[in-house]
Amino acid sequence: MILSSSTGVRYVEHVNENSYRNYPFSESSSLLDTSGAALPSDVVVDAFMYPVVSSAEPIRITRINASRGVAEAECGQVALSGEYADGCVEFKDALGRHAGSLVCGPGWGRESSSGVDREFDGAWLSSRVCCPVVYDGVVSMTDENATWRTTRRDISFQGDGTITPVLEDKGLGPELRFDAQFFSEPDTKSVVRQIVFACAGESLFDVEEVDDGVVEVIAYPVDRDDICWQAHREDAVSVVVDACERQEDCQPVIVGPKWKAFTTCMTEVGSITISADDLVNYKNPIKVSVVDGSTSRQSPQIPDGASSKDIMKEAGKMLDRPITVGNGVMIGIPGVSNGV
């Protein structure tokens, strides 16, 4: 009986049972390397190989260099390379995906000490240890000399209204991305997916992103009480008038410079929230209201003394498409220029 303590092999019974077979190689394979020397049966005692391939092919070991701790194999046109670690040779394909393992026996240490680099032509593995994963599709795309190579002749990217492929060249080479829209309508040409909020220079308004898709708008240090009482009568924009019944002069407000910018994207439910709520010890004077869409035709403006060419150009506006203003959001302080 072979003692495991002297060989370092796990599952000694398994090794003994297969000592007179080619396993894990097929019974018909040749274990002679290209120099004519036979590979001892205790160098490789078990295996399990599962490379991703486009067609099922037998797998063979093509090289074993135990002194360097490397081995090579191939499955059809797919090359595999392995490195020795903790009693096994772990194989990977050209894309770095794990493709299988060889379990090494006590003979691996002897081979490592000999420094022999073996190459094989007929070291086919048994079908019992081979399970190639056949994937009939695009396995990968690699950039080789500016040529896109795949396992298929053509690749088609087609949007479905929710995911749209976009190909751009930003100076660093072509870039392919997929724009995802959370919702869309059949008659809608474009959907707002993000809004850029920016303060550049002196501004009464201040913006802050408090959460994903939620923006807070304030006008600190202006408080609601700093605006004339008419400005927030019933807190409704529709009843606001620019009228102040105070007799004393209002104190000037110092507007300082602000420099900030950020981009807010839609949330998972497809919304961007603009909030102007009151804060602690602060009454927000800002109101956010919805502006309905409107359509108006372009009116020609013909000044006195206009040439016939200018008159014809202005008159042509009557035939142009009408100007359409879509739905929008108005952010302002009621009572100050009607909230604009």
Domain parsing of the chain, residue ranges: 4-134, 194-334
Residue 126 corresponds to which tokens in the numbers above?
Answer: 């048994």
For residues 264 and 209, is the Cβ–Cβ distance under 8 A? yes
**Coil/strand/helix, residue 28:** coil
CA atoms within a 13 Å half-sphere pointing along the CA-CB vector of 298: 14
Type and span of the H or E element at 13:
helix 12-17
For residues 15 and 105, is the Cβ–Cβ distance under 8 A? yes
pLDDT-flagged residues of the chain (< 70): 1-19, 137-162, 180-191, 228-251, 296-297, 318-326, 335-340
**DSSP string for residues in 42-56:** TSEEEEEE--EESS-
How many C-beta neighbours within 10 Å does residue 143 have? 10
Which pLDDT does position 228 carry in this prediction? 65
**Coil/strand/helix, residue 200:** strand
Which pLDDT does position 324 carry in this prediction? 63
Which pLDDT does position 7 carry in this prediction? 43
pLDDT tens digits, residue range 106-132?
899 999 998 899 999 999 999 999 999
pLDDT tens digits, residue range 224-272?
777 765 555 555 444 445 555 555 666 677 788 888 888 888 887 777 8
Which pLDDT does position 184 carry in this prediction? 47
Distance, in Å, from the CA atom of 10 to the CA atom of 119, rounded to the nearest integer, reads 27
Residue 14 corresponds to which tokens in the numbers above?
Answer: 């398994």
Type and span of the H or E element at 12:
helix 12-17
For residues 314 and 308, is the Cβ–Cβ distance under 8 A? no
The single-letter code of the amino acid at 37 is A
Contacts made by residues 19-23, CB under 8 angstroms, sequence distance 24+:
22/126, 23/126, 23/128
How long, in residues, is the chain?
340
The single-letter code of the amino acid at 16 is N
Residue with tokens 């802050």: 208
**DSSP string for residues in 103-121:** EE-THHHHHHHHT-EEEEE
* DSSP state, residue 160: -
CA atoms within a 13 Å half-sphere pointing along the CA-CB vector of 246: 13
For residues 231 and 284, is the Cβ–Cβ distance under 8 A? no
Which pLDDT does position 1 carry in this prediction? 41
For residues 167 and 173, is the Cβ–Cβ distance under 8 A? no
Distance, in Å, from the CA atom of 226 to the CA atom of 126, rounded to the nearest integer, reads 87
Distance, in Å, from the CA atom of 142 to the CA atom of 139, rounded to the nearest integer, reads 10
* DSSP state, residue 167: E
